Amino acid sequence: MYRKVIFPVDLSHIDQLTKALATAADLAKHYGAEICYVGVTGAAPAPGAHNPEEYAKKLANFAAEQAAAHGVSVSSKACISPDPSIDTDKTLLAAITELGGDLVVMQTHAPSALDYIWAGHGDTIAAHSDVSVFLVR
């Protein structure tokens, strides 16, 4: 049913992704699907990486760790955005289409009052993606 699972990942919040990572791995095993870990970074130096190449390497290492931990086929894609603080959703939606993903699994948080004013990334991806989106709390 699913061939490619897209997993948006923020490398600065790995410790908060445990449940969603396990869910994605379980679904990938069940369907024999590949998981593509997608991250968005800027061209300028940031706390997580000094440049896009370093970020891409860290993301690829993370994907390899997930493959070893869960026994699934993985890939990674680092997307460069002029301003990740405002372009992340648009960049992720473009990557989902470009990569041919047919399921997105992503971590979300419990809704708060601010979510009624500004939608979270998961809300936006679910509302605007052409593929199924599984939000994990």
CATH number for 123: 3.40.50.620
**Does the predicted TM-score (pTM) go above 0.75?**
yes
CA dist 42 and 80 (Å) reads 5
Q: Which domain holds residue 132?
A: 4-136
Q: Which residue has the tokens 């709390």?
A: 137
> Nearest Cα to 123, choosing from 131, 133, 113?
133
Given pLDDT bands bounded at 50, 70 and 90, which one contains residue 124?
Answer: confident
What is the pLDDT, as a whole number, of residue 45? 85
pLDDT tens-digit readout, 76-116: 999 999 998 889 999 999 999 999 999 999 998 555 555 54
> Nearest Cα to 6, choosing from 128, 112, 129?
129
φ, ψ (nearest 5 deg) of residue 8: -65, 130
Number of domains in the chain: 1
pLDDT tens-digit readout, 31-43: 999 999 999 999 9
What is the pLDDT, as a whole number, of residue 117? 52
φ, ψ (nearest 5 deg) of residue 80: -100, 130
CA dist 46 and 55 (Å) reads 9
* H-run or E-run covering 61: helix 52-70
Neighbours of 134 (CB within 10 A): 17
